[in-house]
Amino acid sequence: MRLPAGTRLAAVLVSGIAIVTMAGCTAAPAPSASPAALATTAAAASSSARPSPSTAKPKATPKPARSSTTARSSTAQTSAPRVPASPASPAPIPSGRVIVLNPGHNGGNAANSAAINRQVPAGFGQYKACDTTGTETNAGYAEHAFNWDVSLRVRSLLQAKGVKVIMTRSSDSGVGPCVDERARIGNQPGVAAVVSIHADGASTSGHGFHVCEDSRQPGGAAVAAQSHALTVAMHDALLRGSGMTVSSYLGSNGYYPRSDLAGLNLATVPATFLEIGNMRNSGDAQEQSSADGRQQIAQAVASGILGWLASR
């Protein structure tokens, strides 16, 4: 997704917490540390982390906000090349592992602009909007709905393998929660990792997924190394099984380190942030809008998480 701008959260949010929203992986300021620097940290703290990709960071196109009056573009789109899925068979996962899935945005955000525009801490002294509305396909399929659907599918796949899953929101009709509250949910004791699920909104010619990791070390070197290993595992699983290629328009080889995402900046546990395709591209949008396509994506995401858990 692009940078801008109910139910209760079952067994997660404390009674009385206002539910408001989250910002996506959009156009971002240049990271303060390169993927190469992250790889150095990862190598020192975890032998399982791979070197990060090159530091090329093309400027992202601002992400269009979704609203009920969004004009439908009739501009011709370039279809993304598809790659075949290859099912993975990760090792069995010990019971008791906890994963937080963070489906970006929420269905009620667009109608509650005052709530989602409220400024909240975003880490490292930054403040940003509580959340944004997200993007959508040119046919009107909303990112918040895509994020929610894929997350539910991933949850089912993980639970079938004995992994406990916590969701940062309990429906696709509420508002929020804000990005800082989502981070607090992820930082609960016993959580192994946080995986944020989003899609992007860029020029129609761009296609493919990219994975964001923090270009700094909010949780220290050891957590940064584990976050990097998780990011690599998710990248490889998406490339192997999602049906999408790496991003043709942003980052380097499907990686995009950032310093402006609250969900990463405030994380004290391993965390990564997925941008699973460009909703404005006809090829990516076709897969994102299809139940079969979303199931294929979810299987890839679950495979990456299970593989990372098995390697710890």
Distance in angstroms (rounded) separating the CA atoms of residues 67 and 74: 17
Chain segment 155-188, per-residue pLDDT in tens: 999 999 999 999 999 999 999 999 999 999 999 9
Question: Where along the chain do its domains lie?
Answer: 35-56+81-311
Tell which residue, 58, 107, 22, 100, has the closest CA to residue 208: 58
Tell which residue, 176, 141, 174, 167, has the closest CA to residue 288: 141
Chain segment 228-276, per-residue pLDDT in tens: 999 999 999 999 999 999 999 999 999 999 999 999 999 999 999 999 9
pTM reported for the whole predicted model: 0.74
Per the structure block, which two tokens stand in for 1? Answer: 């997704």
Per the structure block, which two tokens stand in for 244? Answer: 């999408």
For domain 35-56+81-311, the CATH class is alpha beta
Active site residue 275: yes
By the 10 Å C-beta count (0-12 exposed, 13-18 middle, 19+ buried), 183 is classed as buried
Q: Which of 136, 143, 213, 275 is catalytic?
A: 275
CB atoms < 10 A from the CB of 162, how many? 12
Distance in angstroms (rounded) separating the CA atoms of residues 24 and 4: 8
Chain segment 105-149, per-residue pLDDT in tens: 999 999 999 999 999 999 999 999 999 999 999 999 999 999 999
